[in-house]
Amino acid sequence: MKLMVLNGPNLNLLGSREPQVYGHTTLDQIMQDLIAEAAPFDCLIDPYQSNHEGALIDKVQQAKQEEYSGIIINPGGLTHTSVALRDAISGVDLPTVEVHLSNIYAREEFRHHSYIAPVAIGQIAGFGAAGYSLAFRALSEYLANRTSRV
């Protein structure tokens, strides 16, 4: 099984700025930890970060074309703005888990709305870097249950 793990704008800055909000761990470290966690389950994690909306949309489409089992995505600020990214996720019809390091509902009002949430199978917010591991476990369980029912 392979999972696409997408990270949106500015998440390449993790670990270097605003540690009080986003923690001290770099995105590279978070992705390496996830790769190591998934490997014993024969699950390949394919991480990708971009500051560009269209590049992330291309990756969502690629996930479908290359038969990935699902997507974990932290869309960053695009969460609150991007109809196009939402349409891409909706269009590929792959189970998608939305992750946020911070609790977006405890922050500014404009972060309370997600365009992505209605097309995701679920959302994890507020647990820092552990959110990616929680998303992996949730998506694995979802896929295992779905397969066993077919």
Among the options 68, 100, 115, 132, which is catalytic? Answer: 100
Classify 109 as helix, strand or coil. helix
Output the CA–CA distances (angstroms, integers) from residue 65 to 33, 38, 61, 118, in the order listed. 26, 22, 6, 23
Cα Dmax for the chain: 46
Stretch that binds ligand CA2, among 42-50, 54-62, 73-81, 133-141 (CB under 6 A): 73-81
Neighbours of 126 (CB within 10 A): 14
Min CB(48)–ligand CA2 separation in Å: 15
105 classed as catalytic: no
* CB of 68 or CB of 132, closer to ligand CA2: 132
* Residue 77 in contact with ligand CA2, rule: CB under 6 A: yes
Note if 112 is an active site residue. no
Cβ(105)–Cβ(125) under 8 Å?
yes
Q: Is the Cβ–Cβ distance between 71 and 144 less than 8 Å?
A: no
Residues 89-148 that bind ligand CA2 (CB under 6 A): 100-102, 104, 111
Give the total of residues touching ligand CA2 (CB under 6 A). 16
Which residues form the interface with ligand CA2 (CB under 6 A)? Answer: 10-11, 13-14, 17-18, 22, 74, 76-77, 79, 100-102, 104, 111
